[in-house]
Structure 1
Amino acid sequence: MSQAVRTTERQVTGDLYAEVRTFYARQMRRVDALDIEGFAETFTEDGEVLHANGELAKGRQAMVAGMRAALPRYRDIAVRHWFDHLLIEPAGPRDEELRVSYYSLVTRTDRAGVVTFEPTFTVEDVLVRRDGRLLTRSRVIHRDGPAAV
């Protein structure tokens, strides 16, 4: 599925850009370390993730249950999520809600050091500020595919 290219109407400050990048670095380190509960805590209580296969996880409990069910897939491998090309767009006053779009690459490294790649994805998040910290309210994951010519 090809993704429409959006242009940023209003740029965020360098400090906010760094805060968002740091948020994702911490969030992905939790998931890569299989800290399922810690990862779920980076979402709002009613947060949701719509996976590329159409599966919807609504709420932290559903996220944790889905991730627990997938744990056998991660036996004897190290997973790393790589995010880049972030577009950060303020969606409300005082940057309390942000729309963030980015590319995601996931690598899997086995005990022998052999690296394999998952398909690439484009991800669309809505981040909100609660009690001074960023949380993910929603995430939509699109599997990349060729653009229509």
Structure 2
Amino acid sequence: MSQAVKTASGQVTGDLYAEVRTYYATQMRRVDTLDIEGFADTFTEDGVVVHSNGVRAEGREEMVAGMHKALPRYRDVAVRHWFDHVLIEPVDGVDELKVSYYSMVTLLDREGRIEFEPTFLVEDVLVRREGRLLTRERVIHRDQPVEQG
């Protein structure tokens, strides 16, 4: 299965670009330090995450429950989420944004060995609520080789 390459339909200001990148840096530091409730707080109350395996978490409560289940996987490792190639498309001025980016996750064990997770394309819808960016929807696509043909 091949993945379509997206291009941005409009340009955003440098200030908005910096705000979005800072938002993601803050969000990922919360998840990387296993601040599950703080991470969930970066989503709208009714936010949705669709994982690459099709599992959906709807609302902060389901997100927190799912992440607590996954905690044993992250015992004795340092987790880092790396995002790049960020495309930001305004939908409604700066109050709704479609954002897509590439994601890579590394796990560092106590001996300094690094394990790489599969890479992903992530598509988010960010909304502004009371002056604050929040994720309303996240869809995570595991990368697949492009079919030649």
Q: Does the Cα contact within 8 Å between 1:124 and 1:139 map onto a contact in 2?
A: yes
4+ runs of 1 displaced by more than 6 Å? none
TM-score (norm 1): 0.97
Give ranges in structure 2 of 5+ residues lacking alignment: none
Q: What is the alpha-carbon distance in structure 1 between the residues aligned to residue 56 and residue 2 of structure 2?
A: 21
| Aligned mates of 2:146, 2:69 — CA distance in 1 | 33
- Structure 1 unaligned spans of 5+: none
TM-fit CA distance, 1:22:
0.1
CA apart distance, 1:141: 0.2
Q: Name the residue aligned to 1:140.
A: 139
The answer (yes or no) to whether the contact 1:3–1:122 under 8 Å persists in 2 is no
**Helix, strand or coil at the partner of 1:139:** strand
1:72 to 2:68 alignment: no
The aligned residue for residue 84 of structure 1 is 84
Asked if residue 37 in structure 1 is aligned to residue 37 in structure 2, the reply is: yes
Partner in structure 1 of residue 102 of structure 2: 103
Deviation (angstroms), 1:3: 2.2
Deviation at 1:8, TM superposition (A): 1.5
1:68-126: CA deviations, max 9, x gaps?
Answer: 0000000000000000000000011x211000000000000000010010000000000
**TM-score where L is the length of structure 2:** 0.97
Letter in 2 for 1:144: D
CA shift for structure 1 position 145: 0.8
Matching residue of 1:19: 19
Listed one character per residue, the Cα deviations across residues 44-74 of structure 1 (whole Å, up to 9, x for unaligned) are 0000100001100000000000000000000
Number of equivalences = 148
Distance 2:8 2:60 in 1: 30
Provide the aligned C-alpha RMSD in A.
0.7
Q: Distance in 2 between matches of 1:89 and 1:2?
A: 23
Look up the match of 2:118: 119
Structure 1 Cα separation of the partners of residues 147 and 43 of structure 2 = 34
- Output the amino acid matched with 1:106: V
Partner secondary structure for residue 116 of structure 1: strand
